[in-house]
């Protein structure tokens, strides 16, 4: 059975070119780039090239790139590094739909005396920029708002947001993990102060990320140790993976147009066909301002876990939301923040494509998903109640759908 992989917002395939570029640094070029001798020096030159490649992908200067272990570390470093730099300020602004790498840090800080403001989103998943302006105070140490939502693909007007924050003299960070490599980004023209990215979202391996820190931005190291990364992140560099990230950045830059044309067309074709063939299906989020590879669909009156299991039986890999929260049967915090009703939120599925997907992949999903949805609705008391025009109290109050469907 062929694997149809449509869960690229969870992780991407490491590009073969990236893997090939990494291999020499596990065996032949194993020197420490901080060493004084020629053997380490030649590795340092390759590391310098990788920094230039990552900088080029987002329009930054190479000196503004700090290598980390992942997107979560980058987010943590941006937030904590800023708070360390402004110890007198105790206010942090985020959105309600942030990734757990930001949201849970905020909750952690709140328990330790910080004041956290979580900006609301509307039914399309978009922010009210007037609310942002209203909540900023002299005590605000940092605003951290994601560029694109990992579940819905909704893109925020991030440069406009950053400009509002900059006007108040407040540092601004964006978690751009889902956006980098999918949409053009240019830090040279943007007011963003800090930006997080992750290798495994853009065809590099897991375990490598980067944090962009604009020159002149106040920042204290989150990982304290040696002099590496110009004193901004201690620890011997993970050279093979940094090399991989550099080549992945170059790879994504070369395929950016394809991501926004062919991949977007595949996504649109999949979405349109499913909306036509499956009644009571809803697209979650702003369809005009979203990533080119992502669609989040709710199939009303059934639950997503069952859909995913039956899709998996057909070789199709998708997600019910963020991989970091997929263990929960509760509806996505993103969809809840958008006001998506329980009748739809429980049955949400995210399809996220990449340049490795084909027309044939989309055809398989279009063929197998409608009968899966019908099969689940046939055994769902909620669907039957809907058909019969009865109230669905358990759904409307967030009842345990898995129990009712499988029990």
Q: Which residues are annotated as catalytic?
A: 324
Burial label for 45, CB within 10 Å (0-12, 13-18, 19+), is exposed
Query: How many CB atoms neighbour CB 137 within 10 A?
Result: 13
Closest C-alpha to 343, from 307, 304, 296, 372: 304
Of the chain, the end-to-end C-alpha distance in Å amounts to 30
Tokens of 88: 């007198």
Contact predicate 334/149, CB 8 Å: yes
Place of tokens 């590496």: 228
Q: Distance between CA 278 and CA 405 in Å, rounded?
A: 19
CA geometry: angle at 361 spanning 360 and 367, to 5°? Answer: 85
Residue 321: phi and psi, rounded to 5, are 155, -145
Query: How many CB atoms neighbour CB 218 within 10 A?
Result: 12
Helices (H), 86-136: 100-110, 129-135
* Cα distances (Å, whole numbers) of residue 76 to 109, 195, 213, 401: 11, 11, 13, 34
């Amino acid at each position: 059975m062929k694997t149809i992989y449509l869960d690229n917002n969870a992780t991407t395939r490491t590009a073969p070119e990236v893997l090939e570029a990494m291999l020499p640094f596990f065996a032949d070029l194993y020197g420490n780039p901080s060493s004084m001798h020629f053997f380490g020096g030649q590795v340092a030159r390759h590391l310098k090239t990788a920094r230039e490649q990552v900088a080029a992908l987002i329009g930054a200067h190479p000196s503004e790139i700090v290598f980390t272990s992942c997107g979560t570390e980058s987010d943590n470093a941006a937030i904590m590094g800023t708070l360390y730099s402004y110890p007198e300020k105790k206010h942090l602004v985020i959105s309600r739909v942030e990734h757990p790498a930001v949201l849970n840090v905020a909750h952690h800080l709140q328990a330790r005396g910080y004041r956290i403001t979580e900006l609301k989103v509307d039914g399309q998943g978009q922010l009210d920029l007037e609310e942002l302006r209203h909540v900023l105070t002299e005590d605000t140490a940092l605003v951290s708002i994601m560029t694109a939502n990992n579940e819905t693909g909704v893109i925020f007007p991030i440069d406009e947001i950053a400009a509002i924050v900059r006007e108040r003299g407040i540092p601004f960070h964006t978690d751009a993990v889902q956006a980098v490599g999918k949409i053009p980004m240019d830090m040279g023209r943007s007011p963003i102060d800090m930006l997080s990215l992750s290798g495994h979202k853009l065809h590099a391996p897991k375990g490598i990320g980067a944090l962009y820190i604009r020159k002149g931005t106040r920042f204290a190291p989150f990982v304290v140790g040696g002099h590496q990364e110009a004193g901004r992140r201690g620890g011997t560099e993970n050279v093979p993976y940094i090399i991989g990230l550099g080549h992945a950045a170059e790879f994504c830059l070369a395929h950016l147009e394809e991501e926004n044309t062919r991949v977007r067309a595949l996504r649109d074709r999949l979405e349109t066909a499913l909306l036509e063939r499956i009644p009571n299906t809803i697209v979650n989020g702003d369809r005009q301002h979203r990533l080119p590879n992502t669609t989040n669909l709710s199939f009303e009156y059934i639950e997503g876990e069952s859909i995913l299991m039956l899709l998996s039986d057909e070789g199709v890999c998708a997600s019910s939301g963020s991989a970091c929260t997929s263990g929960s049967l509760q509806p996505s915090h993103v969809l809840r923040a958008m006001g998506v009703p329980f009748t739809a939120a429980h049955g949400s599925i995210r399809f996220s494509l990449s340049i490795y997907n084909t027309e044939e992949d989309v055809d398989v999903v279009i063929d197998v998903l409608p009968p899966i949805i019908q099969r689940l609705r046939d055994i769902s008391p909620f669907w039957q109640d809907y058909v019969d025009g009865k109230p669905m109290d358990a759904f409307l109050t967030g009842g345990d759908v898995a129990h009712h469907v499988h029990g």
